[in-house]
Structure 1
C-alpha cells in the first residue's frame, strides 16, 4: 500500500469566486456534479467548504450543509472531508457546526494561529489581512468532538510550528488518536513558502507513523503535488487551491475533475498508483461506515 496515493479534491474553498472561475460550485447540484467529476477522474476524498447558493458567501447554515452532504453521499462513494476552518474570521461556534451536525469521514483541524493574508507579490499590495485564530483550547475542543464522533482529524499545518503544537498537545493531552494525518500547506502568506528546505523541515518534524498530504496554493499547487507524490505523501488539488489547470499560461480549469486528472498524471510520473476509496480508507485507518 505504500505505493498508493490518495488524491483529495478541494471543491470550492471559501474564497474563490465564479467571477474568477465559473466552475467554482455554489449550489448543491454544482457540488454534487463536481464531486462526481472528481471521483470519476480518480479522487478518493472530496474536501468541502459550504457556500450560500445565492451569494457564494461561506456558510454553515444547517439546511445548506444537509443538502450538500446528502447529495454527495447519495451520488458518490468518496470519503467526505468537511472544513472546520470555514473562513479566517469565522467564530468558533460557526466552525463547530460541520462536525456537530454531521459525521464526515474526515474533518480539518487547525492547530495554530496565524496571519492569513492575500497579497500581491508584484506591487506589495495587501488585499486581505486576517488573523486566523486557533488557540490550544479550540484545538483540544475540536479534537474531543472529532474523537467522540469517530471523525478523522486532518491537521492543517500552515507552518512547521503548527506540527510542533500537535506534538505537544498529543504528548500532554492525548487530544486525538494515532496514527495522525497531517495536511502540510505551502504558499499562504503568513505560512511557509514552498521550497525543498521547507518540505524537508515539515517531513523531519512529522511524528513517525503519520500520514500526510501536501497542499500548494496557486502556482505551487502542482509543484507541491509532484514533490508530495515523490516523497511518499498524498496529493491534494481542486478549485480551492488553484483555479488554473495551467498556471503559467493562465488556462482556467474546467472542473475539479480536470485538476484531478492532472494530479493522476503526476502520481503516475512519480512511479506510484492512485488509491481507490477502499484503499484510502485503509491507509487513513478509517472505520467502515454503515450504508
Structure 2
C-alpha cells in the first residue's frame, strides 16, 4: 500500500487548557466525550487524543476511573486509534499523569519531551466570568508555572509503559525538545519510527511564524532523517494555517477543541468534528488523502486495538 500521500488527522477532544466557561461546546462528561469522539471519527479523524474531566466541575481528571468511563465506548464505537495523554494537566505530578496509560495500555500515549513555562494567564484578558470557582485561579497560576517534564520524569514514563508496547506521540513544544528526543533515541530508550507532534503557539514554547514551523521541520529532518513521522498542532487561530503547512510538506495534522475553540474568525466550533472537516478540505485540496485508522496503524507501526486493556 502506498502511504506517501496519506495524511493522519489526530483529533484532541477536550484537553486541559480550555475551561468550561470558554465554550458551551467543550465536552466534559463521559457521554459528551464519547459523542465527540464518534463525530470526529466519522468526519475523518484516525487518532483520538483523549483527556478526562470531572463531569460536575469540568476540571481535568487524570484518574484511572475517569478514563474508564469512556475508553471502551470510544474504541468500540469509532475503530479509531485511541491516544491517552500522559501530559494530563501542567499542575499534576508525573506519577498521577501516567496512571491511565499504564493501566489501559493504549496503542499510543502522548509524552511531553521537556519542561516549559506554560502561560495561559493571558486568557483572563478575554474571559471575565466563570461558571466554576477553580477556573480563574488556575489560569492566573500559570503566570508562575513551569510544566515539569524533566529527563527523570520522561524516563519514568518510558520505563513504566515499556511492557505495554505502547508507542508515543512525542510532543515537542520547542527546538530543545527535539534534541531531548534524540538523546533518548541515542540511548536506545525509544524506537523508530518516532511520532513527533510539533506544538506551536503555547506561551512559553515556540511561536507560530512560518519560519518557526520550517525550523522545527528542518531540525527534525537533520536529527531523525527518515526515522520519524511528523505532525503539527497550532494553538488558537493558527490551527488551520499551520496544519496546511504541514500537509503541504508531507506531514500530518492535529485539530480539536483542546487546541482551538474556533471554526473561523469569531465563530465557535460546535464540535471538534467541525475542525476535522475543515482540515480535511485542505488536505484533499492539496491532492492528498485522509488516512484511515488502519492506515494510521500501518504508518506508525502500532500494535492494534485488540492489544489494549480496555
TM-score by length of 2: 0.89
Structure-2 residue corresponding to 1:197: 211
For 2:54 and 2:282, the matched residues in 1 are separated by: 33
| Distance change >3 Å, CA 69–CA 122, structure 1 → 2 | closer
Residues 51 and 67 in structure 2, CA contact (< 8 A), matched pair in contact too: no
Deviation track 1:35-61 (CA, whole Å, cap 9, x = no partner) reads: 000011000011011101111111122
Is 2:199 the counterpart of 1:185?
Answer: yes
Using the alignment, how far apart are the partners of 1:63 and 1:9 within structure 2?
22
1:75 Cα deviation (Å)? Answer: 1.5
Gapped regions of structure 1 (runs ≥ 5): none
Matches within 5 A, 1:21-40: 21-40=23-42
The partner residue of 2:236 within 202, 218, 223 is 218
Q: Which residue of 2 aligns with 1:131?
A: 146
Residue of structure 2 in register with 1:276 after alignment: 292
Q: Deviations over 1:213-257 (max 9, x none)?
A: 1010001111111101111110100000110100x2x10101111
Deviation per residue, 1:47-100 (Å, 9 max, x gap): 011101111111122222111212212221110011111111201111110111
Instruction: Specify whether residues 62 and 122 from structure 1 end up closer, same or farther in structure 2 by C-alpha distance, changes over 3 A only.
Output: closer
Tell me the secondary structure at the aligned position of residue 261 of structure 1. helix
Give 1:228's aligned residue: 246
Aligned residues: 287
Structure with greater proportional helix content: 2
Partner of 1:256: 272
Bigger fraction of residues in strand: 1
**Structure 2 residues without counterparts, runs of 5 or longer:** 126-138
Whether the 8 Å CA contact 1:46–1:78 is kept in 2: the answer is: yes
User: Take 1:17 and 1:108, find their aligned partners in 2: how far apart are those partners?
Assistant: 21
Aligned position for 1:208: 225
